[in-house]
Chain A
């Protein structure tokens, strides 16, 4: 199965700053079938990015995704207060679909 490794584990930033989150895959994710989710406590995870770089419906353009193969990045250009959460990457190229362990973006 494809193992996804996210870094860093925790990102401490202030509102207005730029956040850069990384997701590395143990083998190439073909078709760039990689998604990013935002997860807040007590809520359902929210799809942000799919196919590595396409924003899901209703997602603000401060969220962007790049990458292909084994290296992927989620960037939040200017953090808003509601962006502090845990972010997960997920591949849907090869079953079983797998997730990274998450990056927590916390307020500095």
Chain B
């Protein structure tokens, strides 16, 4: 059974960098058949896919255009986890952030999700 356990601060100040981590159990961040995603949910934007990382002989990253200039998703193989960093945040980045897995070499849905982390951007 795959489990994704998220951790991160609940409050971030405007202009600072938001960081959330997702620890994986029951699978490997280096799996050749999974991808590791970040998704957020806010009242104004609904559910929004932010980006993903995956390993296929080397590491790949895909980012949504809406955040591409500010986002970094990194794997940490030593801890079997991956992280989201979003820099220069504004109150519009206030949301519940989820990590999620999609599995397979072709188009796949998100089959496992983390519990969500509420991040509030406020001074």
Chain A residue contacts of B115, Cβ below 8 A:
43-44
Binds A, one of B12-20, B80-88, B105-113: B105-113
Complex Cα spacing A98 to B98, Å: 15
- Residue in chain B with minimal CB distance to A102: B46
| List of A residues within 8 angstroms of B107 by Cβ | 31, 33, 92-93
User: With an 8 A cutoff between CB atoms, is B62 at the interface?
Assistant: yes
Answer whether residue A95 sits at the interface, using C-beta atoms and an 8 A cutoff: yes
Contacts of A46 in B (CB 8 A): 113
Interface set, chain B 47-101, CB cutoff 8 A to A:
47-49, 62, 64-66, 98
Q: List the B side residues contacting A100 at CB < 8 Å.
A: 46
Q: Which of A15-52 contact B (CB under 8 A)?
A: 31, 33, 35, 37, 42-47, 50
B63: nearest residue on chain A (CB-CB)?
A96
Q: Please give, as numbers and ranges, the residues of chain A lying within 8 Å of B98 by CB-CB distance.
A: 44-45
Residue in A closest to B102 when the chains form the complex, CB atoms: A92
Q: Given contacts A35-B109, A44-B113, is CB(A95)–CB(B62) below 8 Å?
A: yes
A56 contacts partner chain B, Cβ-Cβ < 8 Å: yes
How many angstroms from the CA of A55 to the CA of B55 in the assembled complex? 27
A45 and B113 in contact, given A88-B47, A97-B49, A99-B46 (Cβ under 8 angstroms): yes
A101 in contact (CB, < 8 A): yes
Residue among A43, A44, A46, A101 with the most chain B CB within 10 A?
Answer: A44
CA distance in complex: A40, B83 (Å): 25
Among B49, B66, B109, B111, the one with the most A-chain Cβ atoms within 10 Å of its Cβ is: B109
- Measured CA separation A96–B48 after assembly (Å): 9
Interface on B for A, CB 8 Å cutoff?
Answer: 46-49, 62, 64-66, 98, 102, 107-111, 113-116
Question: A-side interface residues toward B, CB under 8 Å?
Answer: 31, 33, 35, 37, 42-47, 50, 56, 88, 90, 92-93, 95-102
